[in-house]
A = this chain, B = another copy of it.
């Protein structure tokens, strides 16, 4: 069997949300490259949050020749496509989230370093977002949000110095 017509790179069987990416890119005049295929494969297997460094690391385990700048640039493109979202963790480092599931904000406790998710439709979130919209006309980008503070447990322990 000759390696005929079929394109040099192809993505075997990523889940549905990912399958359409090559075409979405081409429709925008962008390109589907082996490096992008690698990153998309990594993302399709990631659940929840991943930092930029972790993604670079995982790409390297598939293709050791992976270059960081390529990964970060591709992440920008994928965010434009609406496939992923990024936010900044409590320490300012980047965190990426896979869409469309898992749109959420984060609570980060500076005492115990624990973190919790806050879904976009959590009544508490809705209340807060509505308050800001009503009061300042500002529409908060919830998934980009990380709230730093002190959690209930640590507060109860009186560790909220």
Q: Which residues of A contact B (CB under 8 A)?
A: 88, 91-94, 107, 109-110, 116, 118, 122-124, 127-128, 131-132, 134-141, 144-145, 147-153, 155, 160
Contacts and interface: CB of A to CB of B under 8 A. Distances in A.
CB-CB nearest 9 A-B residue pairs:
A137-B152, A124-B135, A128-B128, A92-B92, A88-B92, A127-B131, A141-B149, A140-B149, A144-B148
28 contacts: A88-B92, A92-B94, A116-B136, A123-B135, A124-B131, A124-B132, A124-B134, A124-B135, A127-B131, A132-B147, A136-B152, A137-B151, A137-B153, A137-B155, A138-B149, A138-B150, A138-B151, A139-B149, A139-B150, A139-B155, A139-B160, A140-B148, A140-B149, A141-B147, A141-B148, A141-B149, A144-B148, A145-B147
A7 to B, nearest CB: 32
Q: How many copies does the complex hold?
A: 2
A71 B152 CA distance: 34
